[in-house]
Amino acid sequence: MSHADHAVSICRIEVRCRPSRPDPRADAVARKAAQAGLRPERVACAKVYFLEGPLNDEAISRIKSRLLADPVTETAVAGVQPAHPDAQIVEVHPQPGVMDPAAQSVRDAVRDLTGISVGVSTGVRYDFVGVDADDALDFTRHALANPVIHDITHGPWLPESLPRGHEHPFKLSHIPLRGLTDADLVKLARDAHLFLSLAEMKAIQAEFEALGRDPTDIELETIAQTWSEHCVHKTLKANITYRHAAHASPADDPIVWENRPGHSINPDKSVSITNLLKSSVAAATFELMADGVTWPLSVFKDNSGVVALDDHWGVCIKVETHNHPSAIEPYGGAATGAGGCIRDVMGTGLGAKPIANTDVFCFGLPDTPFDALPQGTLHPR
C-alpha cells in the first residue's frame, strides 16, 4: 500500500535483529520453551509498531531508519515479514486501555521527527518452528504474556484502525447488603473480590442498616480497600498463637517468651502474641531506643522511618511489605511496590526528597510445575 497520498491509515513496522547478529530475546524465549517441555527448532522475535496517521513513504522510511531500529544490529520492515513455511506466528499486544509506555514514547518521537501526530500501538511477534499451533499459543499465554492485560493472536494482527476508548456513562449502583445471611455475605465478599472476612462484612452491614440504606458499589469497594491487607497489614497486626515444633521441647527453647512485650505462655505451653508487629519488630526497636540508641529519629509514626545521617540530616527509609500483584500482573505489582516507596518518602514530615528506590520483590520457586500454580496466577519464571 502506498502512503504517498497522506491518507490516514495504519502502517505496521516490524523490527528484528539482523541475521548476522545474536538475538538475546529469541534465545531467552527458546530457553523458556525448553523449561516448559517444548523443543522448538527455531525461535524468532520481532518488535511490532502500528502507526496510524497521515504518513507518506518518505516519513515512514525516516521513522524506520532513524527512530525504531538500530541500523547496526536491527532491520525494520513495513508490513509483515515473511515467515518460515513451518512457523507458527503468535503475537502479543496490550489490550485497549492498558498503559503502553513504549507507544507513548514513539508517538512523541514521531511528532518531533516528522511534525505529524500519529496514534501508536506496540506488540511482539514470535515465530516458532517445530511447535504446533496449540502448544505455541499455550506457551505464549503462560510464559510470554498475561491475559489480564494482553491480547494474544495466532498469526499477524492487522487492524483496520487502532482500538479507541468509548464513552462510559456513569451509573450509580447500590449493592443489596441489608438482610443478607452470613452465607450471602461470604459469597458477596468473594464474588465482588472484596477479600473481607465475615466479621468485617457483618460490621459493614450493621453500619448501613443503621443508616437505613444499602451502600453504593463505590462505598463498598472503598471500605474494602481501606480495610485491605495492603493498607492495614492485618496479618502483621494479628494476634498469633505459636506452637513449638513437634520435635522440639519447650524446655530447650532459648527464648524466654514471657519476658517479651505482648507475649504470654498458655497452659498448653503455646505462646500467645498480641499484635505481631507491635510485639516483635516495633518492640525490639523501642527497646534499643530505650537503651540509648539515638539514631532512629522517627519510627512507626510517619509514612516512612527516619534515621540520623549526621547532626544535620536524616534519611527516610521505606520498604514495601506486599508482593501479591506480582503473581497476577508483575509489571503493575512492581510499580505498586516501587511507587509506594517513593510516595511514602515524599509523604514523610513536610515532604522528603527521594534519592534512591528500595523495594523488595519476591518470586515463587522457579521450578514450580505449571499445573501446581493457583488458578489465574503466572509462573514465577
Helix ranges restricted to H, the chain: 24-35, 57-63, 101-114, 133-139, 182-191, 198-211, 217-226, 229-232, 276-279, 281-290, 330-346
CA–CA dist 138, 370 (Å, integer) = 11
Query: Is 233 a known active-site residue?
Result: no
CA–CA dist 202, 374 (Å, integer) = 29
Backbone phi, then psi, for 79, in 5-degree steps? 100, -160
**Which of left, alpha, beta for 349 (phi over 0: left; psi -120 to 50: alpha)?**
left
Per residue, the 3-state secondary structure of 221-251, as one string, reads: HHHHHHCCHHHHCCCCCCCEEECCCCCCCHH
Beta bridge partners of 307: 296, 315
Active-site choice (93, 230, 244, 247): 230
Find out whether 156 and 125 touch, Cβ atoms under 8 Å.
Answer: yes
CA angle 281, 287, 289 (to 5 degrees): 105
Q: Which residues contact 79 (CB under 8 A, 6 or more apart)?
A: 12, 14
**Which of left, alpha, beta for 97 (phi over 0: left; psi -120 to 50: alpha)?**
left
Q: What is the CA radius of gyration of the chain?
A: 28
Find out whether 73 and 141 touch, Cβ atoms under 8 Å.
Answer: no
CA–CA dist 360, 231 (Å, integer) = 17
Backbone phi, then psi, for 284, in 5-degree steps? -65, -40
Query: Is 322 a known active-site residue?
Result: yes
Q: Which residues are catalytic?
A: 230, 322
